[in-house]
Amino acid sequence: MKTRYGLQALIFLARRSPEPATSGVIAQGSEAPRKFLEAVLLELKLAGILKSRMGRSGGYELARAASKITMADVLRALDGPLALAPCAARKTPQTCPGCKDLRTCAIRPSLSEARVAVADVLEHRSIAHLAKVPSPLEEFS
């Protein structure tokens, strides 16, 4: 749910860019529970995907162009690596519980192939791309 709400919030912000929005407005516009969304927004800010401004015209806004933020960026920021198991991680593969050796694991090649396929899709889908899909929430933009 965290990633889903994060993506919905980013799409909402992309559609109203460059105008920032408060967490309450984002929650309403992305149909997410405000308290939960506030934690998600903070994680996205810490990951450099969002930035925030204080004051009357403050709120959250995208830290870079929506075309430069991919679904993979968001998933990694909120859920960690895209790999389905530790052994299939791209940067730091590790043995899975119960596995003795990465080199002889019969499952690892398939999981690595799945990670590559998933990453290929998610790395090529930007928030700008997702924001072009019509939304039933247009009245909040």
The 10s digit of each residue's pLDDT in 9-63 is: 999 999 998 899 999 999 999 889 999 999 999 999 999 999 998 888 789 999 9
Kindly state the tokens that stand for 47: 């990951």
Q: For residue range 68-111, what is the model confidence (pLDDT) as tens digits?
A: 999 999 999 999 989 889 999 888 888 888 888 888 889 899 99
| 111, 93 contact by CB (below 8 A) | no
Confidence of residue 133 (pLDDT cuts 50, 70, 90): low
Instruction: Delimit the domains of the chain by residue range.
Output: 2-64+130-140, 70-123
Q: Is the pLDDT of residue 137 over 70?
A: no
Q: Could you tell me which residues are beta bridge partners of residue 51?
A: 61
Q: Tell me: cis bond preceding 136? Omega within 30 of 0 counts.
A: no
pLDDT at 61: 96
pTM (2 decimals)? 0.85
95 or 6, greater pLDDT: 6
Whole-number pLDDT of residue 13: 96
Cβ count within 10 A of residue 53:
11
Provide the token pair at 82: 């895209």
Judge: domain 2-64+130-140, CATH 1.10.10.10. yes
Residues 71, 119, 128, CA angle at the centre, nearest 5°? 25
According to the model, what pLDDT value does residue 136 have? 54
